[in-house]
Structure 1
Amino acid sequence: MLQVDQRQLGNTGIRVPALGVGIWSWGEKGFWGYGKSYTREDVTQAYQACLAAGLNFFDTAEVYGNGESERILGECLRQDGQPILIASKFAPLPTRLSAKALLTALDKTLERLGVSTIDLYQIHWPYTFLSIDALMDALAEAVRAKKVRAVGVSNYNAQQMRQAHARLARYGIPLASNQVHYSLLHRKPEANGVLDVCRELQVTLIAYSPLEQGLLTGKFRPGVEQLRPAFPRSLQKAYRSNELEKMEPLFQVLERAAQAHDKTVGQVALNWLLNKDSLIIPIPGAKTQKQAQQNAEALGWRLSSEEQAEIAKAAEKWVK
């Protein structure tokens, strides 16, 4: 496993690669088409390619593939044997009316992964009958039981982050991270206060969908590749409305930067996000060996400040 740039996970002292690996697609048949367009062997090769590139921080969740993502990651870990860092998430479903359900769900996650401790355990979303305080209390109990090294949240707004941070502080536990949607085209964390609060409280921002589920790789530009039925509605809608044709000026700017650095458009988009702040850790997905290798190439170089600004300006019209 190669050494790559490391970033600290909040104030926990845990260091992880600057680029993580999102594995929502591993075992997810309904949305991603696992078993059809890519196989278990593809996923194994993606895992091995990630480790070879020094990317050993994997983000999963109990709801991904109904637990299959966690099971596959655990199998890969046992087969390969190299140490990795694992993040997973608790789903606060309406049927879970007690925060104690988190401890039961955590045990099942650990069982699927085949480990006794998880590096980062997160609340998947804030919309629940369970209070933030109760959930943080349960996470603190998990830390005390040494089943969890660090705790985080996902999709929390700025105020919810502050509440979670304050509750955990009662136990002397830092809020390690907030995992939110963040990319060149989706910059709400910059406008809604989440990025500012992350900076203030020294909380890592884990950026999911940093390539907009493939859109920012350039592979869906008109005439390049047609969409498969499993792809997100947003991309399907963009194709039907010819929005991608209108976005061509942005892709041209990304392409120029890519050529200047001998990189791909997707690697430029990831590097742009990596350069925004050292507390940001993007977690692009990797279903195949090629995707894993391409993601890794976003590290080890840097866009100039002029390129960074030019790309941001070109994307302004499309930012959400």
Structure 2
Amino acid sequence: MENKEMNNDSGNSRRKFIQQNAVAGIGLVFASSLMSSSTNDLEINKVDIDKKEKMTTRNLGKLKVSALGAGCMSISANYGSPAKPEEGIKTIRKAYEKGVTFFDTAEVYGPYTNEALVGEALAPFRDKVAVATKFGFQIGASQITLNSRPEHIRKVVEESLKRLRTDRIDLLYQHRVDPNVPIEDVAGAVKDLINEGKVLHFGLSEANTTTIRKAHSVQPVSAIQSEYSFMERSVEKNGVLDICEELGIGFVPWGPLGMGYLTGKLNAQTPFDTKLDLRSAFDRFTPESLAANMPIVNLLNRFASNKNATSSQIALAWLMAKKTFIVPIPGTRNIPHLNENLGAYDVQLSASEFQELETEFLKLQVHGGRMNAMQMTFCE
């Protein structure tokens, strides 16, 4: 949606929503005990950084990364109870062994715990990977508000660097656009951090085309991150994908597997923890929507059966075939699921297969909004 002035009622509702729901939909739940014990003394799988599988690279602006990345959020928060830290670290290191060089996290995942886990997991080979994290929120003890003031951005970056055990952030996103801070000021603050070497590349998440263009005029934007999957096509219609192509900006889809739905492992009877699983409040994850959207999964499965693949692999292969500047970041907390996701790299869709998928999808209807109306106020 385009930028617009918010009336008082809307503003009050928004502030109330932030306080009561702690920014539902941005990938945040409080879980102070996620990493109550250090994993430094755990015998976690050792990585031979000189012996790893290779994966072709793609460019996010001028940042070169593996064609498939790894979203790390779900290891620590938001899709049910967190994984054990040692299992999360094993999964991240296995992803590197299998050729992944792009890892995505944020300060609000946990909060804070996911950055710490990613930092520990990547420490043995930090110089061989790209790390993306995000700013944009004021995280308090009982409430969270938007905050992209330049002085706050700098504070967040300094703290993220410590948790990530690094001296630079390869890709720094604004997690959500702050209507109270001109995007030119945000871009200028990140530009200063880039000049200092603390940040290497600038990104935006869930921004509209106007914001992207304004930011890009101050500091070149390397990547846009928004929800995008075989079933969620908003960025094809609102011009975001087009402006990325126009300006040479990479695109990083979050939720590339429909937040788990396109795996085919969810159905109308699947329970979602109302305290630990953010999907429990999303329109698309009501029992009715889960049942009504099953033809989409059936379509993917039909193609998968012809290619000795899974619905997840077809969904990811479709994204990679869509545009060469797209780098999906599927998330997982276990190695079997990781192996399945990365198997998509070997699934090749011919031009005719890709077109058939597109044609068949147009015959289907997607039921339920991707998030509820109030949560969507955080997305431009």
Same fold (TM over 0.5): yes
Please point out which of 177, 199, 203 is paired with 1:126.
177
Q: Deviations over 1:79-125 (max 9, x none)?
A: 56673210001124447473121111101000000100111111111
- State the Cα distance separating 1:43 from its structure 2 match: 0.8
Contact 2:284 2:290 in 1 (8 A): no
Alignment partner of 1:59 is 2:104: yes
Contact residue 7 and residue 18 of structure 1 kept, 8 A: yes
Cα distance change of structure 1 residues 140 and 80 upon mapping to structure 2, 3 Å threshold: closer
Aligned-pair CA distance for 1:250: 2.8
Higher relative contact order (CA 8 A, sep 6+): 1
Shift of 1:238: 4.5
2:261 maps to what in 1?
215
1:2 is matched with which residue: 53, 58, 64? 53
Kept in 1, the 8 Å contact 2:136–2:177? The answer is no
Looking at structure 2, the residues matched to 97 and 139 of structure 1 have their Cα atoms a distance apart, in angstroms, of 11
What is the match of residue 287 of structure 2?
240
Q: Does 1:138 align with 2:189?
A: yes
**Distance of 2:213 and 2:155 partners within structure 1:** 26
Matched with 1:227 is 271
Q: What's the counterpart of residue 171 of structure 1?
A: none
| Preserved CA contact (<8 Å) 1:122 1:153 | yes
What letter corresponds to residue 256 of structure 1 in structure 2? R
1:179–1:97 Cα change, 3 Å: closer
> 1:254 is aligned with what amino acid?
L
Q: 1:118 to 1:162 in 2, by over 3 A?
A: same
In the alignment, what sits opposite 1:87?
A: 132
Alignment of 1:247-266 (within 5 A): 247-266=293-312
Tell me, in whole angstroms, the C-alpha distance in 2 between the residues paired with 1:117 and 1:81.
10
**Aligned partner (choices 187, 203, 212) of residue 233 of structure 2:** 187
Residue 77 of structure 1: aligned partner: 122
Q: Is residue 80–residue 272 contact of structure 2 (8 Å, CA) maintained in 1?
A: no
CA RMSD in angstroms comes to 2.1
Matching residue's letter, 1:68: T
Distance 1:220 1:293 in 2: 19
Are 2:254 and 2:328, in contact at CA under 8 Å, matched by a contact in 1? Answer: yes
Identity of aligned residues (%): 29
Q: Secondary structure of the residue that 2:346 maps to in structure 1?
A: coil
State whether structure 2 residue 357 is matched by structure 1 residue 308: no
Aligned residues of 2:72 and 2:332 also touching (Cα < 8 A): yes
CA contact (8 A) 1:206 1:280 kept: yes
Distance in 2 (CA, whole Å) between partners of 1:4 and 1:184 is: 23
SS of the aligned residue for 1:282 comes to: coil
User: Partners of 2:148 and 2:333 in 1: how far apart?
Assistant: 35
- Structure 1 partner of 2:31: none
TM-score w.r.t. structure 2 length? Answer: 0.75
Q: 1:5-63: CA deviations, max 9, x gaps?
A: 210121x2x210111111112322xx22344xx32232122112201210121011111
Distance 2:285 2:155 in 1: 41
1:150 aligned partner, one-letter code: H
User: Secondary structure of the residue that 2:123 maps to in structure 1?
Assistant: helix
Q: CA deviation at 1:304?
A: 1.9
Structure 2: unaligned runs, 5 residues or longer? 1-51, 139-144, 370-380
Distance change in 2, residues 1:26/1:248 (3 Å): closer
Q: 1:299 and 1:104, CA in 2 relative to 1: closer, same or farther beyond 3 A?
A: same
The one-letter amino acid of 1:66's match is: P
Call closer, same or farther: CA 1:53–1:181 in 2, change over 3 Å: same
Distance 1:249 1:209 in 2: 19
Query: What TM-score comes out, normalization by structure 1 length?
Result: 0.89
Conserved 8 A contact 1:49-1:293: no
The DSSP-based 3-state class of the residue aligned with 2:65 is strand
Q: Paired residue for 2:329?
A: 283
Shift of 1:128: 3.6
- Checking the alignment, whether the CA contact within 8 Å between 1:227 and 1:236 is kept in structure 2 is no
SS in 2 for 1:86: strand
2:95 alignment counterpart:
50
1:215 and 1:235 in contact (8 A); partners too:
no
Whole-Å separation in 2 of the counterparts to 1:113 and 1:248 = 39
Aligned residues: 306
1:57–1:86 CA contact under 8 A, matched in 2 = yes
Instruction: Indicate how the Cα distance of structure 1 residues 78 and 128 shifts in structure 2: closer, same or farther if over 3 A, else same.
Output: same
SS state at 1:45 partner: helix
Matches of 1:77 and 1:53, distance apart in 2: 14
* 1:23 and 2:72 are equivalent in the alignment: yes
One-letter amino acid of the counterpart of residue 50, structure 1: A
SS in structure 1 at match of 2:110: helix
